[in-house]
Amino acid sequence: GENVEQHPSTLSVQEGDSAVIKCTYSDSASNYFPWYKQELGKGPQLIIDIRSNVGEKKDQRIAVTLNKTAKHFSLHITETQPEDSAVYFCAASFSGAGSYQLTFGKGTKLSVIP
């Protein structure tokens, strides 16, 4: 089955700096890569996703890049703000052939220091 590794497990940045979180996946058939943000006491919230036919996607201060050859994908947050502090999860799945389960990484706790 799919295995997703996520690094780092914790990340502290100064307000206004950039944050980068990296993930690798094992199953070359995976074709969908979402990122979720989870705040304390809440469920994961989808913040951005990318499909395997796209190399990069951007939405305001967040961007995701995908390297299918290396089986890497990364989340980039620019101009970080205190409200970006949360746990971020990457995930991978193969959407097709009736299987739709997401495999998540272990998460990165991001702290933005004012």
Partner 1 sequence: DTGVSQDPRHKITKRGQNVTFRCDPISEHNRLYWYRQTLGQGPEFLTYFQNEAQLEKSRLLSDRFSAERPKGSFSTLEIQRTEQGDSAMYLCASSLLVGYEKLFFGSGTQLSVL
Q: Which residue's entry shows tokens 């995930």?
A: 91
Please state the closest distance from residue 112 (CB atom) to partner 1, in A: 20
Residues 19-48 that bind partner 1 (CB under 8 A): 31-32, 34, 36, 41-46
**Contact criterion met (CB below 8 Å) for 105 and 23:** yes
Pick one of 20, 49, 65, 76: the residue that binds partner 1 (CB under 8 A): 49
Q: Which amino acid is at 27?
A: D
CB of 106 to partner 1, least distance (A): 5
List, in sequence order, every residue forming a beta bridge with 30; answer none if it has no partner.
Answer: none
Measured CA to CA, the distance from residue 85 to residue 26 in angstroms comes to: 28
Contacts with partner 1 by CB under 8 A lie at 4, 6, 31-32, 34, 36, 41-46, 49, 51, 89, 91, 93, 95, 98-107
